[in-house]
Amino acid sequence: MTSEGLADLEADYRKLVSSICGIPSPPQVCFGQGGAAPRVVFVLGLPNGLHPLDPEGQEKFTQLRSAMQLESDDVYITTVIKTLNLASRPPHPADVRRDRPWLERQLSRLAPEAIVAFGPKVGAMLTSGEIQDCGAGQISSVELEGVQGPIPVHMTHEFTVLTRQGRDEAKAREMWSHLRAVMEAVSP
């Protein structure tokens, strides 16, 4: 997968959102960032500005990636909802229906060994396309066009359990056990 393939996909998404929303200028989009051929893709629900995470979240994510013994090119982080002007409110089922196919195309082009869904609703949106809760610690899978075999989707807690505002030590420890399962799944 080349970064140009993702850039083309993002450009097509921007055109679609502009036409649907009637936005005269290109919409602000957080399509994701990371390695062009990642081993693990991390999926959040909503973007935080032009990056999937705020500065504190980016720092925590770097610590998490290092603890998982993954290089920056081994990971990619993205969101289910990709348009920033929609990130100020809870996702509506129509948002998920609009953006999920784009997430699936993005994941197909990235073809990771594993996917981590941060939050039970993200896990449900990713695996079923609906807004409902899946239990943290569950492992499901997705079949993606052009990718041989299903890709495991490891569901864990919301990423905010690692940040100051949402810090929850018990959930953070539980999240680490979920992420160790991801490490085992992608180890050589």
pLDDT digits (tens, 9 = 90+) for 87-124: 556 667 777 788 888 888 999 999 999 999 998 888 88
Q: Write down the domain spans for the chain.
A: 3-186
**129-146 pLDDT, tens digit each:** 554 556 777 888 888 888
Between helices 93-110 and 120-127, what is the axis angle to 10°?
Answer: 70
Percent residues over pLDDT 70 in the chain? 84
Q: What is the full DSSP assignment across 68-132?
A: TT--GGGEEEEES--BGGGTTSPPPHHHHHHHHHHHHHHHHHH--SEEEEESHHHHHHHHTSS--
In the beta sheet, which residues pair with residue 41?
Answer: 76, 115
Strands 114-118 and 75-79, bridge-based pairing:
unpaired
Q: What is the pTM of this model?
A: 0.85
- 3-186: which CATH topology? Uracil-DNA Glycosylase, subunit E (3.40.470)
Those residues of the chain that have pLDDT short of 70 are 1-4, 20-27, 49-50, 84-91, 129-134
